[in-house]
Amino acid sequence: MSKQDTETGVVAAENLDRVEAPVTWRAYAMCVFASFGGIFFGYDSGYIGGVQGMDYFIKMISGPDATELLSWQSSLIVSILSAGTFCGALIAGDLADYFGRRFTIILGSAVFIVGVALQTASAGLVLLVVGRAVAGLGVGFVSAIIILYMSEIAPKKVRGAIVSGYQFCITIGLLLAACVSYGTENFENSGSYRIPIGLQMLWALILGVGLIFLPESPRYFVKKGKVEEARKALGRVRGQDPNSHHIEAELNEIRANHEYEKRMTPETGYIGSWLLCFSGSVGLASSNVRKTLLGISLQMMQQWTGVNFVFYYSTIFLKGTGAVNNPFLMSLIFTLVNVLSTPLSFWFVERFGRRSMLLWGAIGMTVCEFIVAAVGVTIGFNHTHVVDDVTIANNISAVNVQIAFIAIYISFFATTWGPGAWVLIGEIFPLSIRSRGVALSTASNWFWNFIIGYITPYLVGSQHANMQSSVFFLWGALCAVCIVYAYFLVPETKGLTLEQVDQMLDEVSPRKSAAWKPTTTFASMEEKQTTA
């Protein structure tokens, strides 16, 4: 049974389970395909470490006698990508609201291909840097909007698992990049860097062309007031007849939620709509500013776990211990552990929920990092030798313990904070600020990614703070902050539609959110409002 509101045409579903239509396997497959965008992210952050160490590349950039890149060159080459992605992610939110989610991702793939073509063609620093900035813009578009798109089209029961699929693709991208660079690093020609760089065009092509055949997000059409298009798109993402009562009920709930939000938020211009992301009181968990800060800080905390220290610097760190024969192989093993553990999160995220996952993940990572640090300062440095004025631990079994705990740490990250932070930023924002909220959060990921990448050499470099294993005390302490953060600030969004997440954040604090159950639909609230 359902009742129709004469003013808005919205029909209220009386059954709370009817707010989402059933889904076919084909529809699941569509959502899963979109996660392919993660390959960009991972590959792009992963290949540059390998390329920078290539002899041919170093000589091309720094001259025939050079054995390594000058610091400013290396820093420019690495950081220009983050600058591009940061800007790309910010612009992408606007584009996704004006032109659609799908179009923005396709555009991002095209921009990325242009950037990669410039880098592949480059035979010197300038074109390479320009190419990386352009490619970064494309990665920024894709990394922000894929999350938005997937969260909006995925069925609620598996939304967490599907967005975790994106994280899985990031890990595959990182692994592929490491393997390809390893394969070409000894080439004595431009193929050494051109192959790993050029190969990325393939990921962009697959994603861009694939998305041409996928439907637009129905929630985007609702935001644009295009109800019939929304109905057709929803029919496609659920694999149902667009005129079926299931689609009718789900569409009505999305529309009613949007009507409700529109009533709550004043009509504004461009600047005003950005300011909307920061409206309300910081003290109120349901205010826009709190949701925006939550998204931005979630991604910041994800970077603060120190995961990229392991991915960017583990080779150098392990070399420094003097106890590992093939540090490259070891860092490849960490990358492999990352890939192999991530699928567990598909189950964790729906079985235990986002909140418990982040809480337990932070506890596990904290313990592992403190063990690595403690082993380093107690056992590891009992037996040391000095190379080039640097004190090096050569207690092999201590270093092995450290390696084992770094691997366990990675699997904690891969099953919890890695996917969890992405899943949550797709879920916590109301439709009115969702695209910008996700964009700001993604930009925060890239910003902190850059900051950590930039400061780490100063933390561990022998000329600077030379923290060696003790750097893990720092990451451990930051992970301990993640425990407190997850306990007080992260809400449980498992099993709810995006509209129900809105309701839940309005009604309970994050600590009580896991027990929250929806008691009404937006469509029936709208109905009461118009009959009152």
Whether 388 and 515 have beta carbons less than 8 Å apart is answered as no
> Least distance from C-beta 503 to ligand BGC, angstroms?
28
Task: Report which of 22, 526, 14 is spatially closest to residue 246, judged by C-alpha positions.
Answer: 22
CB of 40 to ligand BGC, least distance (A): 12
Q: Rounded CA gap, 203 and 45, in Å?
A: 14
We find the least distance from the C-beta atom of residue 306 to ligand BGC, in angstroms, to be 11
In the complex with ligand BGC, the residue whose CB is nearer, 160 or 418, is 418
Query: Shortest gap between Cβ of 449 and ligand BGC (angstroms)?
Result: 5
Q: Closer CB to ligand BGC, residue 356 or residue 442?
A: 442
Q: Between residues 137 and 307, which has the closer beta carbon with respect to ligand BGC?
A: 307
Residues 500 and 158: their CA atoms lie apart, in Å, by: 15
What stretches of 322-433 show up as alpha helix (H) in DSSP? 327-341, 344-351, 353-377, 396-415, 417-425
In angstroms, what is the C-alpha Rg of the chain?
24
**Residue among 482, 491, 485 nearest 512 (CA):** 491
Which is nearer to ligand BGC, 81 or 174 (by Cβ)?
A: 174
Question: What distances in angstroms separate CA 464 from CA 66, 204, 371, 457, 458, one per listed residue?
Answer: 23, 39, 24, 8, 5
Which residue, 84 or 380, is less far from ligand BGC as judged by CB?
Answer: 84
Provide the minimum distance between the beta carbon of 216 and ligand BGC in the complex, in angstroms, as a whole number.
Answer: 26
Taking alpha carbons only, the member of 144, 142, 171, 138 closest to residue 46 is 171
Report how far residue 451's alpha carbon sits from residue 445's, in angstroms, rounded to the nearest whole number: 10
Minimum gap (Å) between residue 452 Cβ and ligand BGC:
9
Task: State the residue number with the nearest CB to ligand BGC.
Answer: 418
- What would the two tokens of residue 11 be? 């029909």
Q: What's 118-173 look like in SS3?
A: HHHHCCCHHHHHHHHHHHHHHHHHHHHHHHHHHHHHCCHHHHHHHHHHHHHHHHHH
DSSP, res 379 = T
Q: Which is nearer to ligand BGC, 46 or 215 (CB)?
A: 46
Q: How far is the CB of 418 from ligand BGC (least distance, A)?
A: 4
Crossing angle between the packed helical segments 417-425 and 288-304, to the nearest 10 degrees: 160
Contact 10, 143 (CB under 8 A): no
- Of the candidates 473, 476, 490, 515, the one whose C-alpha atom is nearest the C-alpha of residue 299 is 490
| 311, 452 contact by CB (below 8 A) | no
Least distance to ligand BGC from the beta carbon of 42, Å? 7
Q: Would you call 382 helix, strand, or coil by DSSP?
A: coil
Residue of 308, 68, 66, 54 lying closest to 182 (CA atoms): 54
Judged by beta carbon, residue 369 or residue 499, the one nearer ligand BGC is 369
Closest separation in Å from C-beta 410 to ligand BGC? 8
Beta carbon nearer to ligand BGC, 171 or 493? 171
Rank residues 122 and 315 by Cβ distance to ligand BGC and give the closer one. 315
Minimum CB separation from ligand BGC for residue 381, in Å? 29
Residue 277 or 298 having the CB closest to ligand BGC: 298
Chain contacts with ligand BGC (rule: CB under 6 A)? 45, 167, 170-171, 174, 302, 307-308, 311, 338, 418, 445, 449
Q: What is the DSSP letter of 321?
A: H
- Between CA 461 and CA 455 the distance in angstroms is 10
